[in-house]
Structure 1
Amino acid sequence: MAEKYTAEIVPLNAEKIGTAPHGAATFTIDGAQMKIHIDMFDTPANVQHWEHFHGFPDGKPAEIATAAQDANGDGFVDLPETEPVSGTTMVPFDAEPAKMHVPNDSYPVADAEGHYAYDKLVDLKELQTAFKAAFGSDDLQLDKRVIYIHGVPDTLKLPATVQGTVMNYDAHVTLPIAVGKIIKA
């Protein structure tokens, strides 16, 4: 019997980015595979959107960030400000999730209307092995995770207080724009 998890993805930072990204994610574990489907609407158009599940390695339940997490009062909830409630970035939803190589350029790109759909079939054992190497356990604990969608155009003016640079990628790439709590269906 397949296990199914879902997340309703709601906007974050919408008033600052000029659009209200929203959508849904489904994770179906069936035998040795996990099927991931993410459908997003009203994201910044023609932009690559990093997307991941975040959580706490110790299994503490992650919660979604809200405007209340804007610790420095700059009007944006940036990536570091999500960590106290959501934990760390764990599994990327890119071309190869099981490789768990977060910074890369193989994430979905929204079309001119701000829509994209992501579908991936992942080898569960390969993902669990990489997850255990990174976090000490092979239990993904999806029902204790949250999904984040990131990314705004380079042309959006961000205050210097917005943090989130990862390697050679700046805060425009990592700024959270939508978030959802993953629940068991």
Structure 2
Amino acid sequence: MVDYIAKIKPINADKIETQTHGIATFSENGNSLHIHVEMFDTPANIEYWEHFHGFPDGKQAHVPTLMQDVNHDGFIDLPETKAVSGTTMVPFDDVPQEMNIPHDGYPVADKYGHYEYDKDVPLKDLQAKFKQAFGSEDLQLDKRVVYVHGVPADLKLPSSVAGNVMSYDAHTTLPIAAGEIKLAH
């Protein structure tokens, strides 16, 4: 069994007025990948898109800093993360192995801003879809970054905050927390 862990820390915390944090673990066990994410202090009662991001060429992905706020609006939005974190790769939704990113099958926080995601994913199916999308079936988890996205629809965002993914706006895609995935010791 191979285990990985990501300590998820806040992004955009001063703008969304919460210190979202949590932990994600990944265990490769034979034919499955077990994914467990537990988050605290998220804005309450909303759905959270969560994924790992990375570079298809295997370059190390990193958590963004304010240096990535290229338009200087005080927010690190989804497009601004690409330079250091790469692209969205695998969703932590109802069916991760389908790699269907934009939809409404993600976890929802309770009234206390807590949620837990726990899923066993068929590894061969995920690797096949990953190879189809990125040219390699090697997930290279230790080169990826976990992201949690989403803020309440009534949060005032400047028009400079980008995020339009199909019919989803920046309220859905704004990163609120991230953590680099590391090999667990």
Report the TM-score, using the length of structure 2 for normalisation: 0.99
- Which sections of structure 1, spanning at least 5 residues, go unmatched? none
Does residue 8 (structure 1) correspond to residue 7 (structure 2)? The answer is yes
Alpha-carbon distance between aligned partners in 2 of 1:146 and 1:165, rounded to the nearest angstrom: 21
Aligned counterparts, 1:33-182, within 5 A: 33-182=32-181
Question: Deviation string for 1:82-117 (max 9, x for gaps)?
Answer: 000000000000000000000010100000010000
4+ residue runs of structure 1 moved beyond 3 angstroms?
A: none
> Deviation of residue 67 (structure 1)?
1.7
Give CA deviations for 1:2-23 in whole Å, capped at 9, x if unaligned: 0000000000000000101000
- SS of the aligned residue for 1:140 comes to coil
Gaps of 5+ in 2: none
Aligned mates of 1:88, 1:24 — CA distance in 2: 21
Identity of paired residues, percent? Answer: 64
Aligned amino acid, residue 176 of structure 1: P
Measure how far apart 1:164 and its partner are: 1.1
Residues 29-88 of structure 1 deviation map (CA, whole Å, 9 limit, x = unaligned): 000000000000000100100000000000000001112211100000000000000000
Q: Distance in 2 between matches of 1:84 and 1:180?
A: 16
Q: TM-score, structure 1 length as denominator?
A: 0.99
Once the two structures are TM-superposed, the CA of residue 147 in structure 1 deviates from its matched residue by 0.3
